[in-house]
Amino acid sequence: MNRRNFPTIALAVSVPLLLIVVFGGGPTPVETRVPLLALLLVSELGLIINAVGAYFGIAMVRERPRPRGAVLRLAASLLLALSFGANLLAYWPG
């Protein structure tokens, strides 16, 4: 694993994590199918992985010529990081 393929690995790991968060949560943040601490942990892990993937993706987008795949991976990492962050805030008690 190096900096060039980390955004791809982050996306591959994030899909199952997002499925756990989406299907593990209940209709309200109080009633969840997966324990609340596990949802918070999975959301935080997904947020961190995708934030690092976006950071490395920015470095790849700065290269010339600009690879189209790197732009798509950067956009996907940013969207997934925002999604995990929104889920983390939604499930946070209080």
Range in 7-16, 20-29, 81-90 the model is least confident about: 20-29
Tell me: the pLDDT tens digits for 28-70?
Answer: 767 888 998 999 999 999 999 999 999 999 988 888 787 888 8
SS3 category, 62: coil
For the whole model, what pTM was predicted?
0.89
The DSSP call for residue 5 is T
Residue, of 1 and 83, whose pLDDT is higher: 83
Cα dihedral sign, 42-46-47-52: positive
Domain range list for the chain: 6-91
Rg (CA), the chain: 15
Whether 39 and 25 have beta carbons less than 8 Å apart is answered as: yes
Buried b or exposed e, range 55-67, using 16+ CB within 10 angstroms? ebbeebeeeeeee
